[in-house]
Copies of this chain bind each other. A is one copy, B any other.
Amino acid sequence: MPRKREVVAFQGEEGAFSQEAVRQMLGSALKVLPCPRFEDVFQALQRGQATAGAVPIENTLHGSVHENYDLLLQYDLTIAAETKVRIVHNLIAAPGTTFADVRNVRSHPVALNQCLRFFSRNPQLERVPFYDTAGSVKALMAERPPHSAAIASAVAAERYGGRILRRSIEDDRRNFTRFFLLRRREEAPPLRHRAREGKEWKTSLVFATRNTPGALFRCLSAFALRDLNMTKIESRPLRGRPWEYLFYLDFLGHVEDERCRNALNHLGELADLLRVLGCYPKGD
């Protein structure tokens, strides 16, 4: 349930896939605050211009968004929720434009490249690179160039009044992005007051160890010896410190459960750095 006067920051134009993530996590009865860069989302939240922020953290084709992990370490916020958004690309045009009218298609090059089979089947369509997917629909509706269409999310079509000419034209349907909803620590509802019945919980953390043989193995014993199930582990070399590694780890469990508390205490003994990024209901 969104609270009163919820303002949610995300990177990109209105209609970006981040906004779809916001809708999945909080509904649409809220104000959005589109930001140019990921760091602007963190800043808007820290400065109180937003009550929450949504950032992508990993994609099934492109891997983890290290920039947002770095920002999570830099800013003292907490993860309040997670969700996965399937990246569905649609061909969108201004009302009145038919598929037969379209000669050029604008979108972000990454989106254009994710629809190569569609363009092979429709060689009459020229691809025009644009800044951002939702922004390509916004510009299309403002300028109304003849023979043009854009590729973006259904949310972008709806936001700017575009018409979807072809749905789901992406090559790969296994393209999902996982998003975190962030809040200021003091404003996230105290965990012990949240309803926990019937829900699985997930905890995300970052830790560092020196890269000596067996160091990670010892750290993971904190979870394995307590039968806690990990859902993500990823190493990342620390630049400039060639023998040190950061690890991103998610496990199923609630930080206030005794087993989890003990595991975190145990990991704290073994790791050089440990930071819990958040504890939140497991998303679908």
Footprint of B on A, CB under 8 Å? Answer: 37, 58, 60-67, 108-110, 113, 116, 127, 129-132, 174, 176, 211-214, 216-218, 220-221, 223-224, 227-235, 237, 239
Contacts and interface: CB of A to CB of B under 8 A. Distances in A.
Nearest to A173: B239
A227 B237 CA distance: 19
Copies in the complex: 2
Contacts of A229: 211-213
6 contacts: A108-B129, A127-B131, A213-B224, A216-B220, A216-B224, A230-B235
B211 A227 contact: no
A234 B233 CA distance: 6
A224 to B, nearest CB: 4
Given A66-B63, A109-B131, A129-B131, A234 B235 contact: yes
Contacts of A65: 62-63
Given A63-B63, A108-B109, A232-B235, A221 B227 contact: no
Nearest to A251: B213
A114 to B, nearest CB: 10
A132 B116 contact: no
A64 B66 contact: no
Contacts of A218: 224
Nearest to A227: B213
A62 B234 CA distance: 13
Given A60-B66, A62-B63, A65-B63, A224 B230 contact: no
A97 B234 CA distance: 46
A234 B63 CA distance: 10
A63 B60 contact: no
A174 B104 CA distance: 37
Contact of A132 (B61, B109, B239): B109
A257 to B, nearest CB: 14
A231 B110 CA distance: 30
A195 to B, nearest CB: 24
Contacts of A227: 213-214
A216 B249 CA distance: 13
Nearest to A69: B63
